[in-house]
C-alpha cells in the first residue's frame, strides 16, 4: 500500500483495537483477546465480500511497526521480571515451572506427531515448544480481583511463570530456528543453539549487573529530556541486534535487556521528577503492541480450520495445553491449593503469538491462535470457580 493508505489502515487498526480491547476488559478478559479477535474479523472480512482490507497484513510498513511492538513488548516483560525476582524463586516454584514445561512440551510433541506425522520432527518440536510458556498476566489479574494476590498460590504462580518465560523463551527461540531451517544437522547443533540462548541470558544478567549501573548514573548527569527513555531503548535495540547476530530471535535479546534493568537504574531520574522507564514505555507500547496483535489476528485464516484434521489438531492442542500445566499440581509442596496453581499456569498468550509466525502452515498457525484464545478465556473462569467457594466458606461459618 502507499503511505496515505497505510496511515488510514493504521487509524483503522488503532480504533478497532481500542474498541476490541475495551470490550474484552468489560467482559472480564484481557485486552489482547479483543485485539486478536478484531484482527481475525478484519483478516477474514473477505469471507463476507469485503476485499478492501486484504492488503493490510502484508503491508511492509505496518509489518515493521508490528515487529517494533513485539520487541518493546518483550522488553517490557523483561522489565517486570527483575533479577531479584529470579534469585528469589524457591525450589517449589522452580519445580512447578520445570514440571509444566516438560509436560507441555512432551504433550505438544505427541499431539503433533499423532495428528501431523508428515510435518516432520522440527514442526513437532515447535508445537511442543509453543506450549511451554505461561501468560501470567491473566492469572495475576484474577488473583487481584479475588483479593488473593498475596497468597502462597499467587506467589508460586508468579515465580514459576518468571522462570517459565526465561526457559520457555530460550526453548522456543532455538526450536523455531530449527523449524525455519526445516531440519537439524546434528545433536551438537541443537546443543549449540541452546548454549547461545543460555549464554545470552546469563551474560546479560552478569554484564548488566556490572555495567548498567555506571552507564545509567552517567546518563542521569545529562539534563536533556528523554535521556532515560533513549538509554533504555538503545540498550533494548542493541541487545535485540546482538541476539539476531548470534542466530537467536531478536526478542530474546530484548527480553534479556529488560532483565538487566532494575528500578534502581531509574531512581536518579525519578528523584528529579521524571517518570520511570516503565512509565515512559507505556505510551509507545500502547501504540505499537496492539498493532502486532491485530496483524497476528489478521493472518489467522478461519477457512484453514475447516481443512482435514484442522479441528482435531486445534482440540488436541487445547487439551495438551491445559493438561500440560495442570501437571504442575504434582510438583507443588506444602499447604497450598495444588489445583489452583495448576489452573493458574494454564493461560498462554504473547510468547506463543510471537513465534507462531515461524509456522508456514496457516492451518497450524490458526490452531495455535485458537489455543491461545481458549486457554486465556478458560483459565480465569476455572480459577474463579476454584477459589470463590473457599473464600465464601469463612463467611458462612460466621
Residue 130 is assigned to a structural domain of this protein: yes
pLDDT of residue 189 exceeding 60, the answer is no
Helix (H, G, I), strand (E, B) or coil at 16: helix
Q: Which cell numbers in the block locate residue 211?
A: 555495567
What is the percent of the chain where pLDDT is above 90? 16
Q: What is the pLDDT of residue 333?
A: 80
Mean pLDDT highest for which of 128-142, 153-167, 181-195, 324-338?
A: 324-338
* Confidence (pLDDT) at 143: 73
In terms of average pLDDT, the best of 2-6, 18-22, 88-92, 337-341 is: 18-22
The total number of structural domains in the chain stands at: 1
The answer to whether position 96 is within a domain reads yes
**The pLDDT of residue 80 is above 90:** no
Q: What percent of the chain clears pLDDT 70, i.e. is strictly above it?
A: 84
Rounded to whole angstroms, how far apart are CA atoms 128 and 359? 13
What is the predicted pLDDT for the residue at 181?
Answer: 59
Amino acid 185: pLDDT: 46
In a domain, 268, yes or no: yes
CA angle 166/172/177 to nearest 5° reads 130
pLDDT at 221: 85
Q: How confident is the model at residue 186 (pLDDT cuts 50, 70, 90)?
A: very low
Q: What is the pLDDT of residue 390?
A: 57
Residue 258 counted as domain residue: yes
Helical H runs in the chain? Answer: 3-26, 31-43, 60-80, 83-87, 91-115, 121-130, 136-145, 152-181, 187-220, 227-245, 250-260, 267-271, 277-298, 310-326, 338-344, 350-356, 362-397
Interval 303-317: pLDDT, tens: 888 888 889 999 999
pTM: 0.76
DSSP character at residue 54: T
Distance in angstroms (rounded) separating the CA atoms of residues 62 and 57: 7
Q: Is residue 138 part of a domain?
A: yes
The pLDDT of 237-244, averaged and rounded, is 84
Tell me, what CATH number does 250's domain have? 1.20.1530.20
* pLDDT at residue 111 in the model: 93
Distance CA(226)–CA(4), nearest Å, equals 30
265 against 319, higher pLDDT: 319
Cα(236)–Cα(256) distance, integer angstroms = 8
User: 306 lies in a domain?
Assistant: yes
The pLDDT of residue 101 is 92
What is the pLDDT, as a whole number, of residue 18? 94
Q: pLDDT digits over 356-375, tens only?
A: 777 778 888 889 989 988 99
Rounded-to-integer distance, Cα 213 and Cα 223, Å: 18
Question: For position 83, what pLDDT does the model report?
Answer: 60
pLDDT score of 108: 93
Task: Give yes or no for residue 153 having a pLDDT over 60.
Answer: yes
Q: Mind listing the pLDDT tens digit for each residue in 65-79?
A: 988 988 898 888 778
Say if 54 falls within a structural domain. no
d(CA 33, CA 20): 8
pLDDT for the residue 190: 55
Full domain range(s) for residue 243: 89-275+300-393
Residue 188 has pLDDT above 70, yes or no: no
- Average pLDDT of span 270-291: 88
Contact between 168 and 132 under an 8 Å Cβ cutoff? The reply is yes
Lowest mean pLDDT among 4-8, 107-111, 120-124, 141-145: 141-145
Buried b (16+ CB within 10 A) or exposed e, 74-102: bbbbbbebbeeebeebeebbebbbbbbbe
pLDDT of 102 reads 92
Instruction: Examine residue 76 and state whether it is found in any structural domain, yes or no.
Output: no
Amino acid at each position: 500500500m502507499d503511505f496515505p493508505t497505510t496511515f488510514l489502515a493504521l487509524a483503522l487498526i488503532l480504533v478497532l483495537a481500542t474498541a476490541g480491547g475495551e470490550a474484552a476488559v468489560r467482559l472480564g478478559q484481557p485486552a489482547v483477546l479483543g485485539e486478536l479477535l478484531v484482527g481475525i474479523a478484519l483478516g477474514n472480512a473477505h469471507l463476507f465480500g469485503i476485499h478492501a482490507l486484504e492488503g493490510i497484513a502484508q503491508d511492509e510498513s505496518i509489518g515493521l511497526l508490528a515487529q517494533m511492538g513485539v520487541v518493546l513488548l518483550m522488553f517490557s516483560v523483561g522489565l517486570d521480571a527483575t533479577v531479584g525476582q529470579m534469585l528469589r524463586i524457591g525450589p517449589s516454584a522452580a519445580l512447578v515451572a520445570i514440571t509444566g514445561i516438560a509436560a507441555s512440551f512432551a504433550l505438544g510433541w505427541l499431539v503433533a506427531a499423532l495428528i501431523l506425522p508428515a510435518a516432520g520432527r522440527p514442526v513437532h518440536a515447535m508445537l511442543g515448544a509453543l506450549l511451554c510458556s505461561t501468560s501470567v498476566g491473566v492469572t495475576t489479574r484474577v488473583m487481584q480481583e479475588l483479593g488473593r494476590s498475596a497468597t502462597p498460590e499467587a506467589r508460586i504462580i508468579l515465580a514459576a511463570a518468571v522462570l517459565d518465560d526465561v526457559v520457555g523463551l530460550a526453548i522456543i527461540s532455538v526450536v523455531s530456528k530449527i523449524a525455519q531451517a526445516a531440519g537439524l544437522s546434528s545433536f551438537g547443533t541443537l546443543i549449540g543453539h541452546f548454549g547461545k540462548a543460555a549464554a545470552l541470558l546469563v551474560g546479560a544478567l552478569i554484564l548488566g549487573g556490572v555495567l548498567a549501573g555506571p552507564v545509567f548514573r552517567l546518563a542521569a548527569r545529562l539534563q536533556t529530556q528523554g535521556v532515560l527513555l533513549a538509554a533504555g531503548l538503545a540498550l533494548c535495540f542493541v541487545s535485540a541486534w546482538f541476539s539476531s547476530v548470534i542466530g537467536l530471535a531478536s526478542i530474546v535479546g530484548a527480553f534479556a535487556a529488560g532483565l538487566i534493568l532494575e528500578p534502581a537504574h531509574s531512581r536518579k531520574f525519578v528523584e528529579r521528577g521524571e517518570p520511570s522507564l516503565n512509565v515512559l514505555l507505556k505510551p509507545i507500547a500502547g501504540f505499537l503492541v496492539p498493532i502486532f496483535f491485530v496483524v497476528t489476528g489478521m493472518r489467522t485464516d478461519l477457512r484453514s480450520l475447516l481443512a482435514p484434521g484442522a479441528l482435531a489438531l486445534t482440540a488436541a492442542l487445547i487439551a495438551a495445553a491445559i493438561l500440560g500445566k495442570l501437571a504442575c499440581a504434582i510438583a507443588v509442596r506444602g499447604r497450598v491449593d495444588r489445583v489452583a496453581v495448576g489452573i493458574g499456569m494454564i493461560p498462554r498468550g504473547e510468547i506463543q503469538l510471537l513465534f507462531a509466525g515461524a509456522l508456514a502452515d496457516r492451518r497450524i498457525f490458526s490452531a495455535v491462535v485458537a489455543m491461545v484464545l481458549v486457554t486465556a478465556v478458560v483459565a480465569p473462569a476455572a480459577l474463579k470457580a476454584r477459589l470463590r467457594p473457599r473464600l465464601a466458606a469463612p463467611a458462612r461459618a460466621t
